[in-house]
Amino acid sequence: MKLRVLSMVLLVVGVDGATVEAPSDLKCYKKSTEFDEDFTCSWKPAASGENSHYTLRFCFISVQISANRCKDIDAGRKTSILVVYENFATAKETYMWVDARMGNYTYSSANFTMILKDQVRYDAPHIKSMSRSSGNLTLYWENPPGEKKTIINEIQFRKRGQQLWQNKTLETQGGHKPEGCTLSIEKDAVYEARVKRRAKNIDIWSAWSKTNKVPIELHKQPAVNWTVGELSEGRRLLKLNWTAPPEAESVGEVTYDISFVITPCQRKAKTAQTSTTKYKINVTASAVNVTIVAINNVGESPKQILTIPAQHLRNCPKDQVEHLKRKKGAKCVEWYELAGDTSTSPVYNKTDKDAIRVLSQMKEGMKDFVRYHYFVHNTRKSPQTIALCPIYKTEGVPKHGPPNLTVVNVTDNSALVSWQPIPITHQQGFLKNYVIYITRGNDTNVVNVSQFQTNYSIQNITPGTLYIVNVAGETAKGVGPNTTREILLNPQQVNTGLPGFGGIIVGLFLLVVLTIFCSFIIKRLKHKLLPEIPTPIITETPVNPLRNDEELYPAGEELHPVVLVHDLHDKSNKSPPPLEESPLLEVRDTSLCEDEGGETQVDSDAFGLIFPLNPDYKRQALSLPAPLELTEHSHEQADCEASTPYRNGLVFELKVGNASDTQL
Ligand SMILES: *[C@@H]1O[C@H](CO)[C@@H](O)[C@H](O)[C@H]1NC(C)=O
Ligand SMILES: *[C@@H]1O[C@H](CO)[C@@H](O)[C@H](O)[C@H]1NC(C)=O
Ligand SMILES: *[C@@H]1O[C@H](CO)[C@@H](O)[C@H](O)[C@H]1NC(C)=O
Ligand SMILES: *[C@@H]1O[C@H](CO)[C@@H](O)[C@H](O)[C@H]1NC(C)=O
Ligand SMILES: *[C@@H]1O[C@H](CO)[C@@H](O)[C@H](O)[C@H]1NC(C)=O
Ligand SMILES: *[C@@H]1O[C@H](CO)[C@@H](O)[C@H](O)[C@H]1NC(C)=O
Ligand SMILES: *[C@@H]1O[C@H](CO)[C@@H](O)[C@H](O)[C@H]1NC(C)=O
Ligand SMILES: *[C@@H]1O[C@H](CO)[C@@H](O)[C@H](O)[C@H]1NC(C)=O
Ligand SMILES: *[C@@H]1O[C@H](CO)[C@@H](O)[C@H](O)[C@H]1NC(C)=O
Ligand SMILES: *[C@@H]1O[C@H](CO)[C@@H](O)[C@H](O)[C@H]1NC(C)=O
Ligand SMILES: *[C@@H]1O[C@H](CO)[C@@H](O)[C@H](O)[C@H]1NC(C)=O
Ligand SMILES: *[C@@H]1O[C@H](CO)[C@@H](O)[C@H](O)[C@H]1NC(C)=O
């Protein structure tokens, strides 16, 4: 039999030159120095591969018995088998080989001789974690399981791009505690590192660990953008995305840990992990806290904490209680006082099956005139908001009128007033609408606009007239105090408005008349014309706005004198004009009459009111430069006054037209 096998081997060798048919590289190792550790024997398969059938054969020289004893183990098609330590128990030295049988032929590997106690080869270490902090890199891995003796570890590390490894040797004692090794490295460089190990006094190294990439520390928290959708079926879709850290920080791999507090009743934050830079989740209508942290091979970034504001309702849906009654199961009830439009603390929460009972208890503890908001969520894995509602224990009227009432746009016959919404804390009830009182003289016009509106355009107003605008908020309990604003519509405002077609005609006509009339008359009747004109104009014009207001709008008006005085101060004293007044002042500054002397501000105001803008207006309407005669006489008193008749006439025309349209 043996001869035949030999001849076969010779035949094969002779014909194919194929010693490669034999299995090779037979090795047997155990994984620790422990006496009772089993061996793993492995070999490279025979060349013709999968159909081979292997038998491991081994003979050992026994300590007690001088004769060699042999055993074999059938390995089937495998190329690696476990040999339990009892097989070698008494042996010092063993030799072994592996036979591969294919069909009628058998090929044998070379002999492998081993001394049992020296056949220790650890598994390659696995670097479990790394930490890096100001020039120190610490690598952590675990000792070979079951090893109790000393282990020699070799650590190699190098800067990215370098060829040569730096070496460090570390002796560790076996046991279950993980090993750590601190290396000194450059602070801002990317490294790589690996580890291998062997048993002390045995010169068989493990394989290298996987080469770990060592990024630099993550310095910044992720910069997160988010959008949250509208509430739909009790959920809002929250989309988050963020930028990946710089390359040097993300070498290796970066993952992101995200945690969500979706309802205040939830005991543990919901967590998610991703290696992409975006995430989507359904959240409830209540405020949601999101924490995102980036993690690379050497540590964590600072935490990014976001609060996604709650979605509040302005008014309570009608069928809320009925709706809640129909819902089964445990519910999370959450409520808080509204300190502003979005601020939400402190939050009360309670988990209960009977949400209605919780809500009525909640209502007992509420303050009057203060808005609260509650949410009821179900307690599923992905919770849904099943009810939400703003609520008052007792409503009142608004504490104040809307803040910052201003006149933002004045034209010749309209004014746009604008205000800020009354803050929720001042509403003291559900705001139904804003009430606008527009007062001219003894006439007051009242307009209601929606609670969502923050401006109102007053149409068909008369130039040269003082209007007082009051705006107040109204709740079910009534109308609250006003905020007051006055609008003094200066006749000069004609300049900023678009003149009607009729105006152009009149202007054109007057220009022609003036051209003829002035050039003819002025030369001759200059002195006669002068004294007559100013008198009617001045009587018509409020010389001192303060006094004028007081006379026109006595105490019977819903006026707040403080507000008025403040407004007047603004006008007369403060040089940088408020927004709504700047066009008036500009116009006055360019008025021809002002050139006549160094009058005080109040005087020029008075003149500004007296003399309308017709010269400018004419030029605008006709696209002409200033008429010759006007420029000729521009520095003479006569000039202004000579032009007044037609100016005054035009103003009068306008007033008549407007007065008939006026709704006030
Ligand atoms: C193997 O040997 C048997 C008898 O010894 C013979 O019948 C058979 O043909 C042989 N097979 C091959 C593949 O040589
Ligand atoms: C291995 O060695 C043993 C004893 O020295 C010998 O009997 C056996 O034939 C050898 N096997 C091979 C394949 O060389
Ligand atoms: C770096 O390691 C050395 C020695 O292990 C230690 O003395 C030093 O304090 C460490 N530095 C930092 C910043 O941790
Ligand atoms: C580290 O060890 C390797 C072999 O393990 C050697 O080639 C290399 O030169 C050593 N590097 C240093 C810096 O000693
Ligand atoms: C991230 O989200 C914002 C809106 O939140 C969006 O404008 C932007 O395009 C998104 N970026 C990416 C890369 O998806
Ligand atoms: C976040 O939004 C800002 C501004 O809209 C944009 O410049 C930035 O690229 C966005 N970031 C991401 C990750 O889309
Ligand atoms: C969310 O975060 C804010 C501030 O970071 C905190 O005041 C609030 O209690 C948190 N809310 C929840 C539901 O955890
Ligand atoms: C929810 O209520 C419990 C106890 O009532 C409290 O400990 C917890 O802080 C509350 N959660 C929030 C987010 O307020
Ligand atoms: C959010 O909820 C909707 C249904 O309300 C579902 O279609 C969608 O897949 C959910 N999205 C996520 C990210 O869970
Ligand atoms: C009112 O205007 C002032 C200054 O213009 C501003 O500081 C204040 O915040 C405004 N108030 C509101 C409620 O917007
Ligand atoms: C002012 O009103 C005029 C005419 O109504 C309009 O064209 C202009 O855009 C308005 N300006 C502002 C700032 O609202
Ligand atoms: C307003 O009414 C009072 C009396 O009701 C009257 O004396 C006064 O002249 C009126 N003022 C104007 C501008 O009509």
- pLDDT in the model for residue 508: 55
Closest CA to 430 of 454, 395, 402: 395
CA of 287 to the centre of ligand 7 (A): 8
Closest CA to 446 of 244, 156, 282, 664: 664
CA of 332 to the centre of ligand 4 (A): 64
Q: Assess whether the C-beta atom of 167 lies below 6 angstroms from ligand 4.
A: yes
What percent of the chain lies above the pLDDT cut of 70? 68
- pLDDT in the model for residue 51: 77
Whether the per-residue pLDDT at 214 is higher than 90: the answer is yes
Instruction: Report the atom number in ligand 12 closest to the C-alpha of 442.
Output: 1
Instruction: Report the atom number in ligand 9 closest to the C-alpha of 233.
Output: 5
Rounded Cα gap, residues 385 and 615, in angstroms? 66
Q: How distant, in Å, are the alpha carbons of 524, 611, 635, 644 from that of 521?
A: 5, 21, 18, 14
Nearest CA to ligand 10 atom 9: 404
Judged by DSSP in three states, 26 sits in strand
Task: Report how far Cα 454 is from the mean position of its chain's Cα atoms.
Answer: 27
CA of 531 to the centre of ligand 12 (A): 32
Q: Please say whether the beta carbons of 455 and 402 come within 8 A.
A: no
Judged by DSSP in three states, 436 sits in strand
For 399, residues 6+ apart whose C-beta sits below 8 A from its C-beta are 426, 427, 428, 480, 481
When pLDDT is averaged across residues 641-648 and rounded to a whole number, the result is 33
pLDDT, greater one: 67 or 411:
411
Best residue among 131, 136, 182, 187 to mutate for probing ligand 3, ranked by most atoms within 8 Å of CB = 136
Strand partners, 94: 60, 114
- pLDDT in the model for residue 517: 52
Q: Assess whether the C-beta atom of 227 lies below 6 angstroms from ligand 5.
A: yes
pLDDT, greater one: 593 or 206:
206
- pLDDT in the model for residue 123: 92
**3-class SS string, 270-311:** EEEEECCCEEEEEECCCCEEEEEEEEECCEECCCEEEEECCC
- Confidence category of residue 491, pLDDT binned at 50, 70, 90: low
Q: Which ligand is nearest to the CA of 23?
A: 2
Instruction: Report the atom number in ligand 10 closest to the C-alpha of 403.
Output: 13
For 322, residues 6+ apart whose C-beta sits below 8 A from its C-beta are none
Whether the per-residue pLDDT at 560 is higher than 80: the answer is no
Long-range Cβ contact pairs of 184-189 (< 8 A, separation 24 or more): 184/135, 184/136, 184/137, 185/132, 185/135, 185/136, 185/137, 185/157, 185/159, 185/214, 186/135, 186/159, 187/134, 187/135, 187/216, 188/216, 188/248, 189/159, 189/160, 189/216
Q: What backbone torsions phi and psi does residue 654 show, to the nearest 5 degrees?
A: -60, -45
Q: Which ligand is nearest to the CA of 554?
A: 12
Q: What backbone torsions phi and psi does residue 233 show, to the nearest 5 degrees?
A: 50, 40
The model carries a pTM of 0.65
Nearest CA to ligand 5 atom 14: 241
Whether the per-residue pLDDT at 533 is higher than 50: the answer is no
**3-class SS string, 454-474:** CEEEECCCCCCEEEEEEEEEE
When pLDDT is averaged across residues 463-482 and rounded to a whole number, the result is 90
When pLDDT is averaged across residues 250-255 and rounded to a whole number, the result is 93
Q: How high does pLDDT run on average in the chain? A: 74
Nearest CA to ligand 12 atom 3: 442
Whether the per-residue pLDDT at 587 is higher than 70: the answer is no
Long-range Cβ contact pairs of 169-174 (< 8 A, separation 24 or more): 171/200, 172/143, 174/32, 174/143, 174/144, 174/146, 174/147, 174/148, 174/149, 174/150
Instruction: Report the atom number in ligand 4 closest to the C-alpha of 167.
Output: 1
Q: Which ligand is nearest to the CA of 409?
A: 11
Q: What angle do CA 341, 342, 346 make, to 5 degrees?
A: 115
Rounded Cα gap, residues 230 and 302, in angstroms? 30
Q: What backbone torsions phi and psi does residue 546 show, to the nearest 5 degrees?
A: -60, -50
Q: Please say whether the beta carbons of 470 and 557 come within 8 A.
A: no
Closest CA to 212 of 237, 245, 190: 190
For 473, residues 6+ apart whose C-beta sits below 8 A from its C-beta are 397, 398, 401, 402, 422, 427, 431, 433, 434, 435, 451, 479, 480
Instruction: Report the atom number in ligand 7 closest to the C-alpha of 289.
Output: 1
Q: Please say whether the beta carbons of 198 and 149 come within 8 A.
A: no
- Confidence category of residue 615, pLDDT binned at 50, 70, 90: very low
- pLDDT in the model for residue 410: 84
CA of 104 to the centre of ligand 1 (A): 6
What percent of the chain lies above the pLDDT cut of 90? 39
- Confidence category of residue 538, pLDDT binned at 50, 70, 90: very low
- Confidence category of residue 629, pLDDT binned at 50, 70, 90: very low
Lowest mean pLDDT among 94-108, 499-513, 521-535, 643-657: 643-657
Closest CA to 411 of 466, 454, 468, 462: 462
The residue type of 528 is K
Q: Which helix (H) or strand (E) holds 71?
A: strand 68-76
For 411, residues 6+ apart whose C-beta sits below 8 A from its C-beta are 493, 496, 497, 498
Nearest CA to ligand 3 atom 11: 136
Instruction: Report the atom number in ligand 6 closest to the C-alpha of 225.
Output: 1
Closest CA to 558 of 439, 454, 458, 448: 439
Instruction: Report the atom number in ligand 6 closest to the C-alpha of 242.
Output: 13
Instruction: Report the atom number in ligand 5 closest to the C-alpha of 277.
Output: 13
CA of 293 to the centre of ligand 5 (A): 19
Closest CA to 206 of 141, 139, 298, 162: 141
- Confidence category of residue 577, pLDDT binned at 50, 70, 90: very low
Whether the per-residue pLDDT at 493 is higher than 60: the answer is no
DSSP 400-435: S--S--EEEEE-SS-EEEE-PPPPHHHH-S---EEE
Q: Which ligand is nearest to the CA of 167?
A: 4
Q: Assess whether the C-beta atom of 111 lies below 6 angstroms from ligand 2.
A: yes
- pLDDT in the model for residue 70: 84
- pLDDT in the model for residue 466: 87
Rounded Cα gap, residues 492 and 489, in angstroms? 8
Q: Write down how long the chain is.
A: 664
Q: Please say whether the beta carbons of 405 and 418 come within 8 A.
A: yes
Rounded Cα gap, residues 664 and 661, in angstroms? 9
The residue type of 483 is T
Rounded Cα gap, residues 495 and 480, in angstroms? 38
Instruction: Report the atom number in ligand 11 closest to the C-alpha of 457.
Output: 5
- Confidence category of residue 663, pLDDT binned at 50, 70, 90: very low
- pLDDT in the model for residue 520: 55
CA of 382 to the centre of ligand 12 (A): 68
Q: Is the preceding omega at residue 346 within 30 degrees of 0, hence cis?
A: yes
Whether the per-residue pLDDT at 4 is higher than 60: the answer is no
Lowest mean pLDDT among 2-11, 40-49, 439-448: 2-11
Q: Please say whether the beta carbons of 369 and 396 come within 8 A.
A: yes
Q: How distant, in Å, are the alpha carbons of 36, 568, 581 from that of 577?
A: 96, 12, 6
Nearest CA to ligand 11 atom 12: 409
Nearest CA to ligand 3 atom 5: 182
pLDDT, greater one: 336 or 660:
336
pLDDT, greater one: 6 or 43:
43
Instruction: Report the atom number in ligand 7 closest to the C-alpha of 288.
Output: 13
> Which DSSP state fits 50?
G
Q: In the numeric block, which tokens belong to residue 161?
A: 């791009």
Q: Assess whether the C-beta atom of 208 lies below 6 angstroms from ligand 4.
A: no
Lowest mean pLDDT among 193-202, 497-506, 627-636: 627-636
CA of 39 to the centre of ligand 11 (A): 92
Lowest mean pLDDT among 582-586, 614-618, 659-663: 582-586
- pLDDT in the model for residue 106: 87
Q: Quote the crossing angle between the two packed helices 545-552 and 561-572, to the nearest 10°.
A: 150
Residues touching ligand 12 (Cβ under 6 Å) are: 441-442, 552
Whether the per-residue pLDDT at 580 is higher than 50: the answer is no
CA of 409 to the centre of ligand 11 (A): 6
Whether the per-residue pLDDT at 519 is higher than 90: the answer is no
The residue type of 405 is L
- Confidence category of residue 91, pLDDT binned at 50, 70, 90: low
Whether the per-residue pLDDT at 218 is higher than 80: the answer is yes
Region of 329 on the Ramachandran plot (φ > 0 left; ψ -120 to 50 alpha; else beta): left
